[in-house]
Structure 1
Amino acid sequence: MFSSCNKAPAPTAASQAKPETAQATPAELRTIIKEAYTYGFPMVDSYRIQYSYFVDQANPEYKGGWNEVHNVARVFTPQDKAIQTPNSDTPYSFLGADLRAEPLVISVPAIADRYYSLQFIDMYTHNFAYVGSRATGSEAGHYLLAGPRWQGTAPEGIKSVIRSETDLAFVLYRTQLFGAGDLANVRKIQAQYKAQPLSRFAGTPPPPAPAVAFIKPLSAEAQKTSPEFFGILNFLLQFTPTHSSEKALMERFAQAGIGAGKPFDVAALSPEQRQAVQEGMADAWKAFAQYKAEMIDTGKKGSADGFGTREFLGNDYMMRMSSAVLGIYGNSKEEANYPAYFTDSEGKPLDGAANRYTLRFEPGKLPPVNSFWSLTMYELPASLLTENPINRYLVNSPMEPDLVRDADGGITLYIQHESPGKKKEANWLPAPKGPFFMIMREYWPKPEALDETWKAPPAVRTAQ
């Protein structure tokens, strides 16, 4: 048996009253805005994506309604533009979870012949749980996903209760594809992914489901500079009960009119306030650029540092923003490690218009994984897959039998815009005619990948 006591509010769009910025001087406002923008960017950008997936039926990226699993029985291509740095290895399934009224029961089939994972992401973009090959094994099971306000107990038949600290959550499914001829098998698995309200699973009357008026997000470009960003952030904060570690932070944000359900009327800002808001946002982007140059481009911080639980990230808001900008919804390191290539072996930015590159795996030194690896190309500044004449966006484990080996058994990949010639084309990863970066994905990495006993080989510039 179970009981439910869920007194969730029904958030609505903020009213258009005068924002409460009077407590902060313009100089203080600028400082607070920089901090709040860094904190809120992952939330606002995630909302932009989920609005296109689960709310805006006119959007070409629309998948379907909340609390239903939506399958995409193909890998991503350059036509998929909502999420930055998508993988093109695993067909995705998507679940937008509205947990305000009651939990969801998420069911998976037995999957023993391939890798799969369910990544649970809250509104902050923390990865707070996993179900799948690594985390829970290959057996079938039912898992209860509950929001922060639910106070019930799980019925029989539930393997475990997974708690989200936000009312809305996102579950991102990945199902391994072994090649074009394997797609029918992936579809059969995807058809067995299920989500249903707890009341339906338990055969009890459903609780009332409060309505919510979702507000239109800003575009990816507009949210970089528009003060309307903070109206969206205030709207989203209604779904995020304040964490104990952030009470003082929220009190500080309140001095700038930022808080759950507060109005943020940009038109009511004085010229001095508006300038302070815009300068604070610009300051956040400058801080991001400096952080990227000093920490990410140099390898001091990597993907293994940028994705995970709140406890793992330790409220490092700049790291969280950087991860959202460079590859939102990345996996936690134990699920997938992501060595990134922003520069070549000499520290120069990668550019397909000016240079050609090679990347060589020494004999017996392919990425050490329990599942599979891939190397994927992304054009800049969009951080999206790039069009090319052979429709190849990555090189990965299933392609190993077709890759041409060097004389010593190693593998050299050719990374360039033009074809390296028919004899080398099997090992060609096409680059755009311009700036780019690459992400290596190590799914279910072995310890030597995580402790860097094994290191990803460099991209070496070659003669034109």
Structure 2
Amino acid sequence: MTRTREADPAIGPTSYDPTRLDQFQESAADDVRPVGTDETLTLASVLAQQAVLYGMPAVLQYASMCTQCAPVSDGAPWTLNTLKHERSLARSDFRHFRVPNVDTVYSNAWLDLTEGPVTIDLPEFGSRYYTLEFVDAHSNVSNVSARTYPDGPRTIVVTAPGQDGTATALPSDAVVFDVPTLLMWILMRIQVHSGPDDIDTVRALQDSVVITGPAPRPRPWPVLHREDMESSAAAFLTALDTVVAVNGVPVQDLSHVHQFRQLNVGPGTPDVGDLDEVMSRGADIGFTRAMALLDSSRSRLGRRTASGWTRVLDKGAHGHNFVARAVMNFVGLGANAVEENCSYNTYVDSDGNALTGSDGHTYEIEFSEPPPAEAFWSVTLYDAETGWLYEAPGDVFSVRSITSPDGRVSNPSRIVIGHGRPDGHDDARSWLPTPARPFFLVLRMYRPHEDALTERWSPPPVHLADKPTPTTA
């Protein structure tokens, strides 16, 4: 028998409100725990896997916040509402998150809205690409940029639910910017133009962004870092418990997150460290399985094109796709919306073979027309195993369109990718050096045109240019 689907499968089943049921009641008791050891291990393992897949973005953000904002001693304040500026483009030692771009200089801050709105004053950026990406506790994003505010607001009043950003008189060029969680991550990106002195201009723009909010104060939050989260179920669940307590969860996720109470995650539960031996052991099993799942799924983020590239989909707009959301943030925390940065990645060449700099492999990309970006575009290379930039000769991590200070843009049409500089290639922008091991490529288009967003344009294939000559004995 054939069933007719009324609901859009991309959205999911239709919902209903059970409280409309006459005499509806909801249990206030704890959920059932199995009797047997094996059954309890299974339950704890399943719940821990679900907790990792659901909570990965929130936990990684919390770890990053701890690294930047945690107090230097017990009882000292957390340094929230304070921008920390990277003063140069990312290099091989950049470790704040995986797969950083090398096109913009980063600044970031965690806003604390627990005591009221926070104000951000901005300079005039002119035609230079910039964005302030606001990331909520569960990696939903919004932007203040030339795309979303073409007239360029000079003052932003950031408000959480229940707060009134108009309670005080605002300048005429101020905007009230509503966000959903009390802790918000701001990831600011400012484009660096060609020319040795432009970095000084960018640094001056960074310094001109001023955050005004409540004074820092001590917090009871545990201090945990990324290496803790990625190696310990107890650390991961402790961080998730803290995030849920401070920020809550989206209303549509309440029933999903409620099940984690059996792992002591949720308001009013004991500490995660108080789990008994069987539940703790089961959580370790589930955590290990979930981390292996995420690691093995890194190349699955998006839709494969005919040329071998994968278009990364739904960045910052995940809905209930918790696995995709977890993988995306595990690979590269803080990915921006596709309307700001449309990106493609590939781990393979046009024949489907893994990209590698070993055995003398050299690859080529030929652009018959430049990637359709209103601002600029780039192709950046990363280590396949780690997602970090590698220590490339001359710090050449990418090839990109070049914007001069007067706004003129030049586009390389051919990129040669190989471990050594090819003979006859004097233009450093056309050569992308590789490590002598597997790698992957990311193509980014900043302020992409409609052709990129609708896939009327897609990247050309990565061809293996020089197949190694077999050696004879």
TM-score bin (small chain): 0.7 to 0.9
Paired position in structure 1 for 2:18: none
What is the alpha-carbon distance in structure 1 between the residues aligned to residue 412 and residue 397 of structure 2? Answer: 22
1:196 pairs with 2:212: yes
Report deviation, 1:355: 5.1
Which one is further off, 161-170 or 36-45? 161-170
Secondary structure, aligned partner of 1:448: helix
Q: Residue 450 of structure 2: which of 447, 451, 459 is its match?
A: 447
- Structure 1 residues 123 and 130, CA, compared in 2 at 3 Å: closer, same or farther? same
Q: Do the aligned partners of 1:165 and 1:241 also contact (CA within 8 Å) in 2? A: no
Q: Residue 23 of structure 1: which of 33, 38, 53 is its match?
A: 33
5 Å matches for 1:198-213? 211-213=218-220
Paired position in structure 1 for 2:407: none
What is the alpha-carbon distance in structure 1 between the residues aligned to residue 412 and residue 207 of structure 2? Answer: 40
5 Å matches for 1:48-197? 48-55=63-70, 65-127=79-141, 129-151=142-164, 153-154=166-167, 155-157=169-171, 159-179=174-194, 180-197=196-213
Secondary structure, aligned partner of 1:255: helix
What is the alpha-carbon distance in structure 2 between the residues aligned to residue 410 and residue 50 of structure 1? Answer: 38
Aligned residues: 417
Paired position in structure 1 for 2:340: 335
What is the alpha-carbon distance in structure 2 between the residues aligned to residue 220 and residue 297 of structure 1? Answer: 30
- Structure 1 residues 104 and 337, CA, compared in 2 at 3 Å: closer, same or farther? same
Report deviation, 1:381: 2.0
What is the alpha-carbon distance in structure 1 between the residues aligned to residue 268 and residue 328 of structure 2? Answer: 26
- Structure 1 residues 296 and 346, CA, compared in 2 at 3 Å: closer, same or farther? farther
1:358 pairs with 2:363: yes
Secondary structure, aligned partner of 1:73: coil
Paired position in structure 2 for 1:202: none
Report deviation, 1:35: 0.7
What is the alpha-carbon distance in structure 1 between the residues aligned to residue 107 and residue 43 of structure 2? Answer: 44
Secondary structure, aligned partner of 1:384: coil
5 Å matches for 1:361-380? 361-363=366-368, 365-380=369-384
What is the alpha-carbon distance in structure 2 between the residues aligned to residue 361 and residue 99 of structure 1? Answer: 48
Match of 2:81, as an amino acid? N
- Structure 1 residues 288 and 72, CA, compared in 2 at 3 Å: closer, same or farther? closer
Paired position in structure 1 for 2:230: 223
Match of 2:262, as an amino acid? Q
Report deviation, 1:126: 1.4
- Structure 1 residues 429 and 178, CA, compared in 2 at 3 Å: closer, same or farther? same
Secondary structure, aligned partner of 1:220: helix
1:433 pairs with 2:436: yes
Q: Do the aligned partners of 1:360 and 1:410 also contact (CA within 8 Å) in 2? A: no
Superposed CA deviations along residues 328-373 of structure 1, whole A, max 9, x for unmatched, are 111100011111122111222221123524332333x111111000
Match of 1:23, as an amino acid? R
5 Å matches for 1:246-261? 246-260=253-267
Match of 1:186, as an amino acid? V
Paired position in structure 1 for 2:56: 41
1:456 pairs with 2:465: no
- Structure 1 residues 297 and 380, CA, compared in 2 at 3 Å: closer, same or farther? farther
Q: Do the aligned partners of 2:153 and 2:174 also contact (CA within 8 Å) in 1? A: no
Q: Residue 307 of structure 1: which of 293, 315, 328 is its match?
A: 315
Q: Residue 288 of structure 2: which of 260, 282, 285 is its match?
A: 282
- Structure 1 residues 362 and 307, CA, compared in 2 at 3 Å: closer, same or farther? closer
5 Å matches for 1:394-405? 394-398=398-402
User: Normalization by structure 2: what TM-score?
Assistant: 0.80
Superposed CA deviations along residues 111-168 of structure 1, whole A, max 9, x for unmatched, are 22311111001111211x2111211125342111122353563532263322222211
Q: Do the aligned partners of 1:22 and 1:255 also contact (CA within 8 Å) in 2? A: no
Report deviation, 1:259: 1.2
Stretches of structure 2 lacking an aligned partner (at least 5 in a row):
1-29, 35-39, 405-410, 469-473
What is the alpha-carbon distance in structure 2 between the residues aligned to residue 319 and residue 361 of structure 1? Answer: 31
Report deviation, 1:85: 0.9
- Structure 1 residues 260 and 209, CA, compared in 2 at 3 Å: closer, same or farther? farther
Match of 2:88, as an amino acid? R
What is the root-mean-square deviation in Å for CA atoms of aligned residues?
Answer: 2.8
Report deviation, 1:89: 0.9
What is the alpha-carbon distance in structure 1 between the residues aligned to residue 364 and residue 268 of structure 2? Answer: 51
Secondary structure, aligned partner of 2:425: helix
What is the alpha-carbon distance in structure 1 between the residues aligned to residue 311 and residue 284 of structure 2? Answer: 29
Match of 2:204, as an amino acid? K
5 Å matches for 1:313-328? 313-328=318-333
Superposed CA deviations along residues 365-410 of structure 1, whole A, max 9, x for unmatched, are 111111000111111322111112221111111189xxxxxxxx98
Paired position in structure 2 for 1:8: none
Paired position in structure 2 for 1:413: 415
- Structure 1 residues 292 and 359, CA, compared in 2 at 3 Å: closer, same or farther? same
Report deviation, 1:269: 2.4
- Structure 1 residues 222 and 139, CA, compared in 2 at 3 Å: closer, same or farther? closer
What is the alpha-carbon distance in structure 2 between the residues aligned to residue 302 and residue 319 of structure 1? Answer: 14
Identity of paired residues, percent? 23
What is the alpha-carbon distance in structure 1 between the residues aligned to residue 220 and residue 423 of structure 2? Answer: 55
Stretches of structure 1 lacking an aligned partner (at least 5 in a row):
1-19, 59-63, 198-205, 401-408
- Structure 1 residues 355 and 314, CA, compared in 2 at 3 Å: closer, same or farther? farther
Match of 1:456, as an amino acid? P
Report deviation, 1:292: 4.5
Paired position in structure 2 for 1:232: 239
Larger radius of gyration: 2
Q: Do the aligned partners of 1:360 and 1:413 also contact (CA within 8 Å) in 2? A: yes
Q: Do the aligned partners of 2:81 and 2:112 also contact (CA within 8 Å) in 1? A: yes
Q: Do the aligned partners of 2:341 and 2:448 also contact (CA within 8 Å) in 1? A: yes
Match of 1:174, as an amino acid? R
Match of 2:344, as an amino acid? P
What is the alpha-carbon distance in structure 1 between the residues aligned to residue 292 and residue 272 of structure 2? Answer: 25
- Structure 1 residues 289 and 390, CA, compared in 2 at 3 Å: closer, same or farther? closer
Report deviation, 1:275: 2.9
